[in-house]
Amino acid sequence: MDKVTIFMIFIVFILFTSMNMIKAESCAKGPVIPTAPLVVFLEKVQETALQVYGHKGFDPKLFVDMSLRQNLEVTVEAFNKIPRTVNGSVLKNDLDGFIGKYLGGADEDLVYVEPVDYVVEPEGFLPKVKNTEVRAWALEVHSLWKNLSRKVSDHVLEKPELYTLLPLKNPVIIPGSRFKEVYYWDSYWVIRGLLASKMYETAKGIVYNLISLIDQFGYVLNGARAYYSNRRQPPVLAAMIVEIYERTGDLDLVTRSLPSLLKEYHFWNSGIHKVTIQDAQGSNHSLSRYYAMWNKPRPESSTIDSETASKLPNICEKRELYRQLASAAESGWDFSSRWMRNKSDLTTTSTTSILPVDLNAFLLKMELDIAFLANLIGESSTVTHYTEASQNRQKAMNSILWNAEMGQWLDYWLGNSNTAEDIYKWDDLHQNKKSFASNFVPLWTETLRSDNITTQKVVQSLRSSGLLQPAGIAMTLSKTGQQWDFPNGWAPLQHIIIEGLSRSGLVEAKALAEDIAVRWLKTNCVTYKKTGTMHEKYDVTECGAYGGGGEYKPQTGFGWSNGVVLALLEEFGWPEDLKIDC
């Protein structure tokens, strides 16, 4: 081959590469917040580990949770020097040797700490629980706070650059099993349980940790790891602070937290998250959506996302899918047919094209909670602003998301905007008329359950939806194998719907709330007796069965499940003569 030919091939290669780079840039939609170099490196370790160890029992999260024993430059150099075979692969003994010498275990960055306010049986604990068997179980669940309590190790605080764990100052309650860090929306139900356990200081410490994340990033992250910095979770921090204040009267907590809450609220109601939509009468409304600032595989599931995206033909479609998967993770519902255009195909996930009922209900509650908290400390202008904002969102939800015929609020799929201002025109056909548990989340907000006629419709709709199962509420009616689909039920949605029904003015709604609570408590207790542990999710079609599906094996521990059990027992109690069995 002569020099001219070689030169021409080189030029073609450069042009091809450049065109692909330009194409990749041109197809990028929305903002991207880069992740830390440490995370990028650990993803390479994760990819190599999958090739070496194989798929069986492989958990990609384990590898991005590892820490460095030496600085990143030295570790990368050592990794690059691992011997490769002729085909470029690494042998197991060589990878084992590298990991043993240069990387710390995923459980070395958090250390056990005894909660300062834990006692074996708190004074005034669950006074409505009269049944001795149920009380004994509740005390065992209460004792799990001690098992799940951790603090960031001194090594992380001294050298945070060697860890993906973020250096939070106060002790945390972890969910359990593979989840060895604090998570955002999990923490609300953890706190509800801690309050039932009279562990007020631990609850406040969790809130102050989350506030520190807002101060650093502008929002609370999905979880307290560096690789979560470009996505969030449902915004329920204000609700945590209201709950703690109502138990403790701590005005200092309110004063210190309010500026951070305003910052987080602004984030969710501006930029790419804010959507303007015009209703059938021509009035414009603002609602919010999930929109992760990321378009690559999620680091904790990088090998899984890459495999999912391998079905797509080009880099643009892959990047779009990565954003959609990260946005679904941001919603907490990762994953569910709720976000998919084709329920049997994960690559059709289109989270950013949806105005979700639950996110907007959470933000409506946030507006009401901020107004309540601001009133406590005399911030009258803030009270006025957020009261008006809540009224506007309520109108928007009732105009855009409410479906009177179904008696539910429905997710709204965004069509193609045909105006320069990106104002979407409402169309009845764009409401997702499938029943999801999230369609009933608005009951949790006081203003949306204050109308008894609407609440009665919602109660009747829930009863006839098919979601109500022998052991609780199913998330959807689609059995896809995804963990947020049928037949799974999850603690936070049970609690939100139960509490919304219970706090309404309707006798029928309160009766339904108690019925669902009994079903959920029974399945939690019976499963605990059978397995010796609390579970992340449950199969609601059968009393005493835990859930499955999704991209990782079922987890135990488990923070929010424990919290919801204690909160429900505190609210409803358990009579002496009622057996807790199936």
Taking 3-state DSSP, the helix, strand and coil percentages for the chain, each rounded to the nearest 5, stand at: 55, 10, 35
Q: Are 126 and 539 in contact (CB under 8 A)?
A: no
Angle at 328 between CA 399 and CA 175, to 5 degrees: 115
Provide long-range contacts, Cβ within 8 A and 24+ apart, for 41-48.
Answer: 41/72, 41/75, 41/76, 41/79, 42/66, 42/164, 42/299, 43/297, 43/299, 43/302, 44/79, 45/79, 45/99, 45/103, 46/299, 46/302, 46/303, 47/302, 47/303, 48/90, 48/95
* Rounded-to-integer distance, Cα 435 and Cα 426, Å: 20
Distances (CA, A) of 117 to 121, 146, 342: 11, 10, 49
243 is catalytic: no
Angle formed by the axes of helices 491-502 and 507-531, to 10°?
Answer: 150
Rounded Cα distance between 142 and 535, Å, is 15
Residue 334 annotated among the catalytic residues of the structure: yes
- State how far the Cα of 263 lies from the Cα of 278, in Å rounded to an integer: 27
Q: Distance between CA atoms of 519 and 507, rounded to whole angstroms?
A: 19
Q: In whole angstroms, what is the distance from residue 72 CA to residue 68 CA?
A: 7
Element (H, E) at 103: strand 103-104
Active-site residue, selected from the candidate residues 536, 539, 570, 571:
536
Name the active-site residue from 65, 109, 243, 334: 334
According to DSSP, the β-strands at 274-278 and 423-425 are: parallel
d(CA 348, CA 121): 50
Catalytic residue numbers?
334, 536
